């Protein structure tokens, strides 16, 4: 297979099949798996026959339970969180596990129009035959309603408010009126919507009150413990490095731990030992950014260094991730460098590397 990236339901097809075979729970209409099995698929675990399901989401099981429970009711699910907290990842896997199809996707942008949510027209046909069902262009939303599957909307808050509100009828009446044909499309059981939105973006379109209450919200947090976050970074870096074929040695665990620690300390505003409080920068410093800093460092080491990632390969990436606002953030970073990094004996290399660039 020469694809850069496979869909979740293809990549984990064997896991889904195995889960289905051993599923004894009650299936909601048109669901591929029972709610309990969906949670197992996301969190990982051992089936009764000893089959090991890998974990897709490393974090709080409670959150996944709320997400799945929501989708069994008639409310839609809104995954909310900082950039890089696995919102789209969770949404894709939820759709794959519940409907066996994660491709009914609408990408929200400032330019997303009503036609891309409801339906569009094939104008050639419209002119030739006049309005008819054949001249309709179905959107992923419309297909999901017709087949009773999960539709996904990415970055819901980037869509303009007027367009967002077209969702209200779909979510509350479960129907999509087509006034031009004097007909409608009514959703089949099993249909629901998963939307993702991020709460750090400036200039987002806040959801209207009416739309808000059609959604149950789950906030995906940044990882709880340093061990959890190191595990995530490690897993994803290994996966990406092999698929991008970067010819560098896998980074030492210690190097990853250091980056994750810097990110966590600045993000949480307190050192890991809990003794010193710190200022936090305006940047989000998500796990995803930690992953890209490591990847970046690996690429630097592979193509311009000796193939082994060192402090210098990482420094520019770290600083780029931390300092987003040139005035406030650089104060924060300088303070951190001088009061925390400098005092750690085995961090001398990273201190020097960062000092050189910060000047």
Partner 1 sequence: MPLHILGIRHHGVGSARYVAERIEALQPDLILVEGPPEMTEALQVIGHEALKPPVSVMLYNIDNPQQAVFYPFATFSPEWVAALYANKNRIPLRAIDLPVAISFQQALAENDTTLSAPVRDPLDYLAEVDGFASGSALWDHYFENHFQIHTSAEHFEAVMLTMKTLRQAAIPSLLEEENTLREAYMRECIRKAQNELYQNIVIVCGAWHAPALVQVDTTAKADAKLLKTLPKTKIKPLATWIAWTAQRLALQSGYGAGISSPGWYAHRWKYPQDTAMLWLTQVAGLFRSKQADISTAHVIEAYRLACTLASLRNRPQPTLNELNEAVISVMCMGDAVLFQLVEQALIIGNKLGKVPEDIPKVPLQEDFEKKIKSLRLSLTANAKQYDLDLRQENDLKRSVFLHRLAMLSVTWGRTVENRNKGTFKESWVLEWSPAMILELIDKAYYGNTVQIAAQQVILQQLQAEQKLGNITSLLSRVIPAELFECIEALLLAIQNLASVSADVVDLMAAYPTLVQVSRYGNVRKTDLSMMQKIADGLFTRISIGLGNACYGLDEANSEQMFRHIVAVNEAVRLNQQEEAQTLWLNTLQQLLARTGIHPLILGCTSRLLFDAQIWTTSEAEQHFAYALSPANPPSDVAAWIEGFLKGSGAILIYDDTLWNLLYAWVASLSEQHFTELLPILRRTFSQFEYAQRKQIGEKARKGLVAISASTLGASPDIDEPRAEMILPILEQLMAV
Which residues in this chain contact partner 1 in the complex, by CB under 8 A?
Answer: 35-36, 39, 62, 65-66, 68-70, 72-73, 75, 78, 80, 209, 212-213, 216-219, 269, 276-280, 327, 331, 334-335, 338-339
**In the complex, minimum distance from the CB of residue 73 to partner 1, in angstroms, rounded to a whole number:** 6
Neighbouring CB atoms inside 10 A of 59's CB total 21
Q: Strand locations in the chain, DSSP E?
A: 45-46, 52-53, 76-81, 105-107, 119-121, 136-138, 150-154, 175-178, 183-186, 192-198, 215-220
Q: Give the number of C-alpha atoms closer than 13 A to the C-alpha of residue 12, restricted to the C-beta side.
A: 24
CB-wise, 207 or 246, nearer to partner 1?
A: 207
Pick 132 or 225: Cβ nearer partner 1 = 225
Q: How far is the CB of 294 from partner 1 (least distance, A)?
A: 28
- C-beta of 53 vs 298, nearer to partner 1: 53
For the bound state, the minimum distance from the C-beta of residue 143 to partner 1, rounded and expressed in Å, comes to 26
Closer to partner 1 at the Cβ: 216 or 316? 216
**CA nearest neighbour of 78 among 263, 270, 212, 170:** 212
Q: Is the dihedral of CA 16, 21, 26, 27 positive or negative?
A: positive
Query: Residue 270 CB, nearest distance to partner 1 (Å)?
Result: 8
Residue 64 or 135 having the CB closest to partner 1: 64
- The gap from C-alpha 21 to its chain's centroid, in whole angstroms, comes to 28
Are the CB atoms for 94 and 150 separated by under 8 Å? yes
Q: How far is the CB of 200 from partner 1 (least distance, A)?
A: 14
Task: Measure the CA–CA gap between 156 and 107, rounded to whole angstroms.
Answer: 8
Name which of 35 and 140 has its Cβ closer to partner 1.
Answer: 35
Q: How far is the CB of 55 from partner 1 (least distance, A)?
A: 18
- Contacts (Cβ under 8 Å, ≥6 apart) of 201: 83, 157, 158
Torsion of CA 295, 12, 220, 258, to 10 degrees: -30
């Amino acid at each position: 297979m020469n694809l850069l990236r496979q869909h979740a339901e293809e990549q984990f097809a064997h896991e889904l099949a195995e889960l289905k075979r051993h599923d004894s729970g009650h299936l909601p209409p048109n669901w591929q798996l029972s709610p309990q099995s969906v949670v197992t698929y996301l969190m990982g675990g051992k089936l009764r026959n000893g089959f090991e399901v890998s974990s897709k989401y490393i974090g709080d099981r409670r959150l996944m339970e709320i997400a799945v429970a929501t989708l069994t009711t008639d409310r839609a699910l809104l995954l909310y969180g900082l950039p890089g907290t696995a919102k789209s990842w969770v949404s894709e896997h939820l759709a794959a596990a519940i409907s066996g199809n994660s491709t009914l996707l609408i990408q929200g942008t400032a330019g997303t129009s009503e036609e891309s949510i409801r339906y569009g027209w094939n104008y050639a046909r419209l002119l030739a035959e006049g309005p008819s069902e054949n001249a309709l262009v179905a959107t992923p939303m419309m297909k999901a309603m017709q087949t009773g599957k999960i539709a996904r909307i990415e970055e819901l808050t980037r869509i303009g408010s007027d367009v967002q509100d077209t969702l209200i009828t779909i979510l509350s009446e479960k129907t999509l009126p087509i006034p031009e044909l004097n007909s409608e499309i009514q959703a089949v059981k099993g249909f629901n919507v998963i939307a993702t939105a991020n709460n750090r973006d400036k200039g987002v379109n806040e959801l209207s009150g009416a739309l808000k209450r059609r959604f149950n919200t789950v906030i995906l947090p940044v990882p709880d413990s340093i061990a959890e976050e190191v595990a995530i970074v490690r897993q994803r870096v290994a996966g990406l490095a092999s698929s991008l074929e970067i010819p560098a040695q896998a980074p030492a665990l210690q190097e990853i731990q250091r980056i994750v620690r810097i990110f966590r300390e600045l993000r949480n505003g307190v050192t890991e030992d809990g003794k010193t409080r710190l200022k936090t920068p305006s940047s989000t410093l998500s796990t995803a950014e930690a992953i890209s800093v490591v990847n970046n460092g690996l690429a630097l080491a592979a193509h311009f260094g000796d193939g082994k990632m060192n402090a210098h390969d990482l420094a520019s990436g770290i600083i780029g991730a931390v300092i987003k606002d040139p005035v406030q953030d650089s104060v924060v970073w300088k303070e951190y460098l001088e009061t925390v990094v400098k005092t750690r004996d085995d961090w001398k290399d990273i201190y020097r590397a960062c000092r050189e660039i910060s000047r």
